[in-house]
Chains A and B, each alone.
Chain A
Amino acid sequence: MINTLITTATGDWEVVIGLEVHTQVKSKSKLFSGAATSFAAEPNAKVSFVDAAMPGMLPVLNEVCLEQAVKTGLALNAKINLHSVFDRKNYFYADLPQGYQISQFYHPIVGEGYLDIDLEDDTSKRIGIERIHLEQDAGKSIHDVHPSKSLIDLNRCGTALMEIVTKPDMRSADEAMDFVKKLRLILRYLGSSDANMDEGSLRADVNVSVHRPGTPFGTRAEIKNVNSIRFIGQAIDYEVNRQITLLESGGTIDQETRLFDASSNSTRSMRSKEDAPDYRYFPDPDLLPVILTQDYVNHIKENLPELPGQKRERFMRDYGLSLYDATVLVSDMETPLYYESVVNHMKSWKDQKEAAKMASNWVCGELFAFLKENNLSIIDSPISSEKLATLLNLIGEGQVSGRTAKEVFEDMWTSGKDPAAIIAEKGLVQMSDAGELATIVDKVLVDNPQMLEQYRSGKDKLFGFFVGQVMKVTGGKANPQMTNDILKEKLHVK
């Protein structure tokens, strides 16, 4: 069990974290209007009369947005509410043309669920999901272009958002960050959201409180609109520290909304406008309730794509990979596709599990290292999955040693040539002729009499020295296994 308690001079504190994650639903048009969802466009270009809340305009629900919410709920093991309602959340702000946001307050489309995160000690922890609902996104206010005016761009206004509310089950910044990473991955696997924090399609409100273990939860502060995983961790760390310091000096925590300031790595209270806002939620009379059939939900469930957790289990089961290796391989969307393609091109191997393991080693080892160094993602890899498989197959056939193969890999990366061609050109074919090797081994032993003497008198470690000498003489091309066997025989190792 990992200890997440914070211990200070006065004793232990437990941190309690809940998240409200807002993620933009992947769809062509908006939640209630036919304007396009867009990432970057001229201001107010992707705005319909409905989005601009012109007089007499009315909302009509987008069927894909509905489906995406159901998909997300199912992937998070949650209850899909067959009866849900859209409510109006009433408040005034420049980026909210209607003067209300269409959201779901009383009857959200998705109920309770959960997501399991991996802890550092290889155990997993279940983080509860409270609910998920659909709502409209607001427009954008730009405050820093004009000295005395704010500019309002409504392009984003009306885009569908899913709000995913967790239970207050997280107990550390790491758990919170892991949760968001995993959630993000699931959303991408589902295709229900791009979940890209840099682009603003995923943001989190972080609720943080502290309390003495065994006592009721403390008052929480809400840090709004945190838009990177790293900032989530930093904000929590700062906030925990702030709260503990305040409480230990006899103060109390205000239930308030705060903002994370990345430049100073701290949270600060939002300029408090008034007391808790009164949103006057009521069911939107321009819409009817959303009534789903169980058949509809079942159909979506049957057609869900393989999720990261399922894929990881399959990799462990079918490819005999370790939890660690499998986890690494499913940590984005493209890597497992690449990996499986490599494996699929290694069907000639007698021991498929060995092949899978080798493929895993090379993808997570050499390939990742080169990708990272060159700042590339796997889809831009100059070495295709088929080519990598070809190289691995050559290793399997004994055409090239593991060591030499690394040299070949590097050449493949820069030259784009096939491994077989490189091996031929550079004469890197592995030396696997027993007679030839035996001759070389003999020569090494003859050339190093002192070492041989020392070995014979008990320095077993010098075995490696002889192997190294054979490699040196053969330019690394000696078949290592064969070299070992021949050496052992000649040195009378049992």
Chain B
Amino acid sequence: MEIKKQDILRIERLARLKLPADQEQTFSERLTKVFDWIDQLREVDVEGVTPMVTPLIDMGVQTGVQTTPLRHDVVSDGDCRDQIMANAPEAQHGSFTVPKVVE
């Protein structure tokens, strides 16, 4: 299936990044090639197969892990603003700052 340049522009938009302009066209060609190769997955019979989001479900049958682990409802974290802000590129009054957003 052909992946067009406007597909590339759309996903660049979703991903909030840009390839170098001269690569956008070649990338769409590259992706078309990659997805043609990926399309061989259609050869596989996956009728009735549950998508495997993590190997842990199958493993769970062996190890008895049944559900996502639960945490007790206690305050065990936070109150570390200095550490949270330690790498902030820009901050003011203890808040991160970004260019003003108009809603």
Query: Which residues on A are within 8 Å of B, measured CB to CB?
Result: 27-29, 33-36, 42-52, 60-66, 86, 92, 94, 141-143, 145-154, 259, 270-271, 274, 278, 280, 283, 285, 287-292
Contact = CB atoms under 8 A, between A and B. Distances in A.
A28 B78 contact: no
B42 interface: no
B57 to A, nearest CB: 7
Interface string B41-74: 0000000000001101100100001111111111
Interface residues of B, number: 40
Contact of A146 (B67, B73, B77, B100): B100
6 contacts: A43-B93, A52-B84, A62-B71, A63-B70, A150-B98, A150-B99
B11 to A, nearest CB: 9
Contacts, number: 142
Contacts of A259: 103
- The majority secondary structure among interface residues of chain A is loop
B53 to A, nearest CB: 5
A151 B97 contact: yes
A92 B81 contact: no
A288 B78 contact: no
Given A63-B72, A65-B73, A288-B57, A150 B100 contact: yes
B95 interface: yes
B80 interface: yes
Given A45-B78, A285-B53, A148 B100 contact: yes
A149 B66 CA distance: 47
Contact of A63 (B71, B79, B83, B94): B71
A47 B94 contact: no
B73 A42 contact: no
Nearest to B53: A283
A64 B75 CA distance: 12
A102 to B, nearest CB: 11
Nearest 5 interchain pairs by C-beta = A35-B78, A34-B76, A34-B77, A64-B73, A48-B77
Contacts of A153: 94-95
A44 B81 contact: yes
Contacts of B79: 35-36, 45-46
A63 B94 CA distance: 31
Contacts of A92: 16
A161 B16 CA distance: 27
B71 A61 contact: yes
B78 A47 contact: yes
Contacts of B100: 143, 146-150
Contacts of A49: 77, 80, 83-84
A61 B95 contact: no
Given A43-B93, A45-B81, A61 B99 contact: no
A143 B103 contact: yes
B14 interface: yes
- The majority secondary structure among interface residues of chain B is loop
B61 to A, nearest CB: 13
A152 B70 contact: no
B35 interface: no
B55 to A, nearest CB: 10
A470 to B, nearest CB: 66
Contacts of A62: 70-71, 73
A257 to B, nearest CB: 11
Contacts of B98: 94, 149-150, 152
A442 to B, nearest CB: 75
A28 B73 CA distance: 6
B67 A290 contact: yes
A426 B93 CA distance: 62
A289 B97 contact: no
Contacts of B73: 27-29, 62-65
Given A45-B81, A289-B67, A34 B93 contact: no
A88 B90 CA distance: 28
A130 to B, nearest CB: 24
Nearest to B98: A94
B99 A48 contact: no
Name which of B69, B76, B78, B79 has the most chain A CB atoms within 10 A of its CB: B78
Contacts of A65: 73
B69 A146 contact: no
A288 B75 contact: no
Contacts of B103: 143, 259, 270-271
B75 A280 contact: no
A303 to B, nearest CB: 16
B99 A149 contact: yes
Contact of B54 (A43, A152, A288): A288
A271 B70 contact: no
Nearest to B56: A288
A66 B70 contact: yes
A289 B16 CA distance: 30
A153 B71 CA distance: 25
